[in-house]
């Protein structure tokens, strides 16, 4: 079986970024999350290890809180792994 990566993107307000990322993590098939600002510049990027939960995600969510305070709108890009 081969693995392919696909991407989904969501435009969210800064205040909704943490909520959206938590939702993505709960879905369980995200491998990497990339946050871009309104100018399409990458401002954060972090991999998600399979099965990572709780304390392992706390630093990433804290960083997202800081990002949310600085941006009014951003794009969340989710890289997912799918098996064919």
Domain ranges, residue 11: 3-83
Compute the distance between CA of residue 61 and CA of residue 17 in angstroms, rounded to an integer.
10
CATH number, domain with residue 77? 3.30.1490
Please count the structural domains in the chain.
1
State pTM to two decimals. Answer: 0.78
Cα Rg, the chain, nearest whole Å = 13
What is the distance, to the nearest Å, from the Cα of residue 10 to the centroid of all Cα atoms in its chain? 10
pLDDT digits (tens, 9 = 90+) for 1-35: 445 569 999 999 988 888 888 888 888 788 889 99
What b-and-e string marks burial along 14-30, b requiring 16 or more CB atoms within 10 Å of the CB? bebbbebbeebbeeeeb
């Amino acid at each position: 079986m081969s693995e392919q990566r696909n991407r989904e993107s969501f435009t969210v307000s800064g205040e909704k970024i943490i909520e959206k990322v938590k939702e993505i993590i709960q879905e369980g098939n995200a491998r990497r999350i990339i946050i871009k600002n309104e100018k399409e510049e990458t401002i954060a990027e972090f991999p998600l290890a399979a099965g990572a939960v709780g304390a392992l995600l706390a630093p990433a969510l804290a960083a997202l809180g800081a990002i949310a305070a600085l941006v009014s709108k951003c794009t969340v890009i989710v890289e997912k792994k799918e098996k064919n």
